[in-house]
Structures are given as structure tokens and as C-alpha cells.
């Protein structure tokens, strides 16, 4: 079920940027051709699903994701951190990260090397407590439909 996490996070990031705050990160968009990561800073996108036979695939349940897409997203976020981003949005943190893959290493580095950076982690409601126990600290917000104020509403 589409709970609106991505839409709410996009609206929040836009409002923060309009207020002069540096927000970066990636959103996972659902498109007719499959899921894609979108870099919040540039608007650039990369296919997340449907790895080619010669690509490394990451399996989560019935889904196959491109490791190259995660690598791309991590590089974009690391560049934003080096440029002084005040907040990082990551859509979505879940079972993949709980097993140490996906964005897990990046989240550990952000917590260690950039403790002042606010992390906005989009997390399905059923995993909020588990993700908070693994990656949480006072600078994290989880499950944006509950925790981020709606822009303009």
C-alpha cells in the first residue's frame, strides 16, 4: 500500500530548500518502468529495478534491485555531505539495511562522521522501531507521514 512517505518527504525537502536549508539525499520513485532513485539535489534519476544479467543484483523478498543504483545513490549522498548538506533524506531504509546491505554502511558513516547532519529515513511503519534501534539517534526522523509536517497544509 502506498502510504505517501515519498510524497511527504519530497514536499518537506522542497519546503526546507525554499527556507534556505541544504537538504540532499535520494527518493525511491515508482514509475511505469519500475522503481528509480532520484537525487534530490540534481533531479537526476537511475533505474533501481531490473538488473541486467551482467549486473550484481540485490534481492529483497520478491524484488531484484541493481547494486549499481545503490552505489550511485551512496556516491550522490557522500558528495552532498562533503558539500555541507544539513539534512539527508534516504528512501527507503528497511530489511536490506537491517541485514547490513543497501544504505547500512553509509548510515553508519553518517552517524559517526557527520553527527550534526539530520537524517530523514523513510521507513515503513512496521519497521520503525527496528530501524531506530539499529540506526537511530536524536538527529533521525522516521516514517515521514507521521513525523514531518505537511508542506502547505
Tens-digit pLDDT profile for residues 21-79? 999 999 999 999 889 999 999 999 999 998 888 999 998 888 899 999 999 999 999 99
CA dist., res. 133 & res. 131, Å (int): 5
* Pairing status of strand 45-47 against strand 34-39: antiparallel
CA dist., res. 96 & res. 59, Å (int): 8
pTM value is 0.87
pLDDT higher than threshold 90 for residue 129 = no
pLDDT higher than threshold 90 for residue 4 = no
Q: What angle, 0 to 180 degrees and rounded to 10, lies between the N-to-C axes of helices 104-113 and 67-82? A: 10
Structural domain boundaries in the chain: 5-147
Amino acid at each position: 500500500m502506498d502510504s505517501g512517505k515519498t510524497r511527504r518527504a519530497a514536499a518537506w525537502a522542497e519546503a526546507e530548500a525554499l527556507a534556505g536549508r541544504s537538504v540532499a539525499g535520494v527518493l525511491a520513485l515508482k514509475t511505469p518502468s519500475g522503481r528509480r532513485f532520484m537525487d534530490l539535489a540534481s533531479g537526476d534519476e537511475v533505474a533501481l529495478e531490473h538488473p541486467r544479467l551482467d549486473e550484481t543484483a540485490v534481492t529483497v523478498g520478491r524484488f531484484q534491485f541493481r547494486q549499481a543504483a545503490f552505489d550511485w545513490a551512496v556516491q550522490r549522498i557522500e558528495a552532498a555531505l562533503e558539500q555541507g548538506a544539513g539534512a539527508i533524506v534516504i528512501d527507503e531504509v528497511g530489511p536490506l539495511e537491517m541485514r547490513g546491505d543497501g544504505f547500512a554502511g553509509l548510515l553508519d558513516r553518517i552517524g559517526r562522521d557527520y553527527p550534526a547532519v539530520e537524517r530523514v529515513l523513510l521507513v515503513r511503519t512496521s519497521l520503525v522501531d527496528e530501524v531506530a534501534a539499529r540506526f537511530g539517534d536524536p538527529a533521525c526522523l522516521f516514517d515521514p507521514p507521521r513525523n514531518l509536517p505537511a508542506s502547505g497544509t
